Amino acid sequence: MFIAGWLQHEAMLVANAVSELDVYLEQPCATYAECVSVRSHTHLPFILDENITDLDSVLRLHKDKAADVINLKISKVGGLTKAKQVREGANILWTTSDVPINTGCTDTKD
């Protein structure tokens, strides 16, 4: 798994370099639009998490087919109650066999 904050062209270089490996790209770029663009140019599976902040972002992700796995970060969506609501909404859109939805906390180490 590759997790990074690359510029879009850097993410494309990495995606091309590892295209024959069995790896996921996790949130390769800072913005949602950049991640979607990179995804449209590679067959590698994607994990998105940093851009998932509410149910609307999950709906957008679903519409754009922007990820193969969702990492739902409790602190990014505003706490346990909101995370539960977002997860329930995501489960309506996908079965767990379609898009795994992982729930956890953001690492807050300095």
CATH code, domain with 46:
3.20.20.120
Helix H or strand E encompassing 46: strand 46-48
Answer whether residue 36 is part of any domain.
yes
Retrieve residue 48's tokens: 């998105």
Q: Please count the structural domains in the chain.
A: 1
Q: For the residues 22-30, what does the mean pLDDT come to?
A: 92
Question: 47: closest CA among 90, 17, 8, 3?
Answer: 3
Answer whether residue 37 is part of any domain.
yes
Answer whether residue 110 is part of any domain.
no
Which DSSP category does 61 fall into? H
Structural domain boundaries, residue 37: 2-104
Report pTM: 0.79
Answer whether residue 44 is part of any domain.
yes
pLDDT at residue 9 greater than cutoff 70: yes
Dist CA 61 CA 48 (whole Å): 9
Answer whether residue 109 is part of any domain.
no
Dist CA 39 CA 12 (whole Å): 9
pLDDT band at 97 (very low <50, low <70, confident <90, very high): very low
**Tokens 């795994």 correspond to what residue?**
100
